[in-house]
Structure 1
Amino acid sequence: SENFWQAGPLGPCGPCSELYIDRGLDFGAPDDLPGGDNERFLEYWNLVFMQFDQNPVNTLTPLPAKNIDTGLGLNRMAAILQDKHSVFETDQFAPLIALGEELSGRRYGHAFPTDRAMRVLADHGRAMTFLIADGVVPSNEDRGYVLRRIMRRAIQQGRSLELEPGFLTRYAEVVTELMGSEYPELYEQRESVRTWLEGEEQAFGRTLEQGLKRLDELIARARGSGEEGIAAEDAFLLHDTYGFPIDLTRELLSEHDLGVDEVGFEELMDEQRERARRGSGRFGGTEELRERLEAFAGDAGFATDFVGYETTDRETMVGAVARDDGRVLVKLVESPFYATGGGQIADSGYVECSDGDCRARVDDVLRVGDDQVVVVVPEQGTLEAGERVHAHVDRAARHATECNHTATHLLHAALRRILGPHVHQAGSYVGPDKLRFDFTHSSRLTPAQLDEIENTVNGWILESQPVRAITTTLPEARALGAMALFGEKYGDIVRMVEVGDGSFSRELCGGTHVRFTSEVGLFKILGETSSAANVRRIEAVTGPAGVELLRRHDRALSDAADTLRAPAERVPDLVTELRSQVRELERAARRGGDGTDGVDLERLASMTVERSGARVLVADVDVPDGQALLDLADRLKNKIGDAVIVLASAGEDRVNLIASVSPSLVDRGLRAGEIVKVAAAAVGGGGGGRDTLARAGGRDVAKLPEAIGAATDAIEAALSG
Structure 2
Amino acid sequence: MKNMGLHEIREEFLKFFNGKNHMILPSFSLIPKNDRSLLLINAGMAPLKPYFTGEKVPPNKKVVTCQKCIRTADIENVGLTDRHATFFEMLGNFSFGDYFKKEAIQWSWEFLTKILEIPEENLWVSVYMDDDEAFEIWNKSVGVNTEKIVRLGKEDNFWELEVGPCGPCSEIYVDRGEEYGCNKLNCKPGCDCDRFMEIWNLVFTQYDKDKFGKYHPLENPNIDTGMGLERIAVIMEDAKNIFEIKEIRKILREVEKISGKSYGTDPRINISIRVITDHVRAMTFLVSDGVLPSNEGRGYVLRRLIRRAARHGKLLGIEKPFLQNVVSTFIQSWKVQYPELKRREVQLKNVINAEEEKFQETIDQGIQILEGYIEEMVKNNKKCLNGEKAFKLYDTYGFPLDLTKEILEEKGLTVDENEFNINMEKQRKRARKAREEFSDSGWKNNGSIDLFKGIKTKFKGYETISLKTKIIAISVEGSPVNNIEEGEEGVLVLKETPFYAERGGQVGDIGYIKKDDFKGKVIDTQYTKDETIVHYVRMESGELSVGDTVNAIVDSKNRRDIMRNHSATHLLHRALKDVLGEHVKQAGSIVLPDKLRFDFTHYEALKDEELKMVQNIVNEKILDNIEVRTIETSLKESEYMGAVGLFEDKYKDIVRVVQIGEYSKELCGGTHIDNTGNIGLFKITSESSIASGIRRIEAITGRAAYDYLNKLEYNIIDISNILKTDRKSIVKKIKSITNEIKEKDKQIESLKSKMSLTIAEEVLNQVQDVNGINVIAYRVNDMDINNLRNLGDRIRNDLNSGVIVLASTDNGKLYFISMVTKDLVKRGLHAGNIIKEIAKLTGGRGGGRPDMAQAGGKDLSKVQEALNNVPSVVKRQLK
TM-score (norm: length of structure 1): 0.68
Q: Is the 8 A contact 1:79 1:85 kept in 2?
A: no
* Counterpart for residue 685 of structure 2: 526
* Counterpart for residue 209 of structure 2: 51
How far does residue 274 in structure 1 lie from its aligned partner after superposition?
Answer: 3.3
Alignment of 1:357-368 (within 5 A): 361=522, 363-366=524-527
How far does residue 175 in structure 1 lie from its aligned partner after superposition?
Answer: 3.6
How far does residue 150 in structure 1 lie from its aligned partner after superposition?
Answer: 1.9
* Counterpart for residue 555 of structure 1: 714
1:470 pairs with 2:631: yes
How far does residue 120 in structure 1 lie from its aligned partner after superposition?
Answer: 2.5
How far, CA to CA, are the matches of 1:490 and 1:633 in structure 2?
Answer: 64
* Counterpart for residue 536 of structure 2: 376
Alignment of 1:145-224 (within 5 A): 145-163=300-318, 165-224=320-379
Over 3 Å counting, the alpha-carbon distance change for 1:351 and 1:691 in structure 2 is farther
* 1:276 alignment partner, one of 428, 431, 445: 431
CA displacement 1:185-226 (0-9 Å, x = unmatched): 323322210111121112211211111111111111122222
* Counterpart for residue 346 of structure 1: 508
How far does residue 137 in structure 1 lie from its aligned partner after superposition?
Answer: 1.6
1:311 pairs with 2:469: no
Q: Greater shift after overlay, 236-245 or 387-396? A: 387-396
**What RMSD, in angstroms, separates the aligned Cα atoms of the two structures?**
5.2
CA displacement 1:76-98 (0-9 Å, x = unmatched): 76468647664445566444344
* 1:408 alignment partner, one of 559, 569, 573: 569
Over 3 Å counting, the alpha-carbon distance change for 1:181 and 1:207 in structure 2 is same
How far, CA to CA, are the matches of 1:521 and 1:458 in structure 2?
Answer: 9
Partner-residue secondary structure (3-state), 2:685: strand
Alignment of 1:589-628 (within 5 A): 626-627=786-787
Structure 2: where are the runs of 5+ without partners? Answer: 1-152, 480-488, 756-781, 790-806, 816-835, 837-845, 847-851, 857-879
Q: Greater shift after overlay, 276-285 or 457-466? A: 276-285
Q: Greater shift after overlay, 536-545 or 64-73? A: 64-73
Q: Is the 8 A contact 1:444 1:530 kept in 2?
A: yes
Q: Greater shift after overlay, 442-451 or 567-576? A: 442-451
CA displacement 1:685-714 (0-9 Å, x = unmatched): xxxx99999xxxxxxxxxxxxxxxxxxxxx
Q: Is the 8 A contact 1:5 1:13 kept in 2?
A: no
Q: Greater shift after overlay, 623-632 or 80-89? A: 623-632
How far, CA to CA, are the matches of 2:454 and 2:340 in structure 1?
Answer: 47
Over 3 Å counting, the alpha-carbon distance change for 1:581 and 1:165 in structure 2 is closer
* 1:74 alignment partner, one of 224, 228, 233: 228
* Counterpart for residue 544 of structure 1: 703
Partner-residue secondary structure (3-state), 1:300: coil
Over 3 Å counting, the alpha-carbon distance change for 1:64 and 1:388 in structure 2 is farther
* Counterpart for residue 605 of structure 1: none
* 1:300 alignment partner, one of 454, 462, 474: 454
How far does residue 127 in structure 1 lie from its aligned partner after superposition?
Answer: 1.8
Q: Greater shift after overlay, 438-447 or 60-69? A: 60-69
How far, CA to CA, are the matches of 1:515 and 1:282 in structure 2?
Answer: 40
CA displacement 1:578-607 (0-9 Å, x = unmatched): 577689599979988999xxxxxxxxxxxx
* Counterpart for residue 66 of structure 2: none
How far, CA to CA, are the matches of 2:154 and 2:814 in structure 1?
Answer: 66
Over 3 Å counting, the alpha-carbon distance change for 1:578 and 1:98 in structure 2 is closer
How far, CA to CA, are the matches of 1:478 and 1:368 in structure 2?
Answer: 28
Partner-residue secondary structure (3-state), 1:135: coil
How far, CA to CA, are the matches of 2:809 and 2:698 in structure 1?
Answer: 34
How far does residue 402 in structure 1 lie from its aligned partner after superposition?
Answer: 1.1
* Counterpart for residue 710 of structure 1: none
How far does residue 242 in structure 1 lie from its aligned partner after superposition?
Answer: 2.1
* 2:559 alignment partner, one of 392, 398, 420: 398
Q: Is the 8 A contact 1:321 1:328 kept in 2?
A: yes
How far, CA to CA, are the matches of 2:694 and 2:248 in structure 1?
Answer: 32
How far does residue 134 in structure 1 lie from its aligned partner after superposition?
Answer: 1.6
Over 3 Å counting, the alpha-carbon distance change for 1:396 and 1:241 in structure 2 is same
TM-score (norm: length of structure 2): 0.57
How far, CA to CA, are the matches of 1:481 and 1:331 in structure 2?
Answer: 37
Q: Greater shift after overlay, 108-117 or 484-493? A: 484-493
Q: Is the 8 A contact 1:250 1:260 kept in 2?
A: yes
Partner-residue secondary structure (3-state), 1:199: helix
Over 3 Å counting, the alpha-carbon distance change for 1:337 and 1:30 in structure 2 is farther
Q: Is the 8 A contact 1:366 1:375 kept in 2?
A: no
Q: Is the 8 A contact 2:289 2:583 kept in 1?
A: no
Q: Greater shift after overlay, 156-165 or 386-395? A: 386-395
Alignment of 1:19-58 (within 5 A): 26-28=180-182, 45=201, 51-53=209-211
Q: Is the 8 A contact 2:684 2:699 kept in 1?
A: yes
1:130 pairs with 2:285: yes
Over 3 Å counting, the alpha-carbon distance change for 1:78 and 1:511 in structure 2 is farther
CA displacement 1:9-48 (0-9 Å, x = unmatched): xx74687756666676734456889889765677775778
How far, CA to CA, are the matches of 1:334 and 1:81 in structure 2?
Answer: 70
* 2:656 alignment partner, one of 495, 498, 505: 495
How far, CA to CA, are the matches of 2:786 and 2:640 in structure 1?
Answer: 60
1:433 pairs with 2:599: no
CA displacement 1:313-340 (0-9 Å, x = unmatched): 4556677888997997877665544444
Percent identity, please. 34
How far does residue 403 in structure 1 lie from its aligned partner after superposition?
Answer: 0.6
* 1:507 alignment partner, one of 666, 674, 677: 666
Over 3 Å counting, the alpha-carbon distance change for 1:146 and 1:624 in structure 2 is same
How far, CA to CA, are the matches of 2:631 and 2:572 in structure 1?
Answer: 20
How far does residue 283 in structure 1 lie from its aligned partner after superposition?
Answer: 9.0
* 2:615 alignment partner, one of 443, 447, 454: 454
Over 3 Å counting, the alpha-carbon distance change for 1:266 and 1:355 in structure 2 is farther
Q: Is the 8 A contact 1:78 1:90 kept in 2?
A: no
How far, CA to CA, are the matches of 2:416 and 2:752 in structure 1?
Answer: 61
Over 3 Å counting, the alpha-carbon distance change for 1:222 and 1:551 in structure 2 is same
Q: Is the 8 A contact 2:577 2:583 kept in 1?
A: yes
* Counterpart for residue 421 of structure 2: 266
Q: Is the 8 A contact 2:448 2:477 kept in 1?
A: no
Q: Greater shift after overlay, 164-173 or 510-519? A: 164-173
How far, CA to CA, are the matches of 2:474 and 2:250 in structure 1?
Answer: 65
Which of these two proteins has the greater Rg computed from alpha carbons?
A: 2
How far does residue 516 in structure 1 lie from its aligned partner after superposition?
Answer: 0.9
Over 3 Å counting, the alpha-carbon distance change for 1:169 and 1:591 in structure 2 is closer
How far, CA to CA, are the matches of 1:585 and 1:105 in structure 2?
Answer: 51
How far, CA to CA, are the matches of 2:278 and 2:449 in structure 1?
Answer: 42
Partner-residue secondary structure (3-state), 1:402: helix
How far does residue 461 in structure 1 lie from its aligned partner after superposition?
Answer: 1.8
How far, CA to CA, are the matches of 1:350 and 1:627 in structure 2?
Answer: 69
Structure 1: where are the runs of 5+ without partners? Answer: 54-58, 596-621, 639-661, 663-671, 673-688, 694-721
Read off the aligned partner of 1:374 and give its amino acid letter.
Answer: V
Over 3 Å counting, the alpha-carbon distance change for 1:219 and 1:545 in structure 2 is same
Read off the aligned partner of 1:568 and give its amino acid letter.
Answer: R
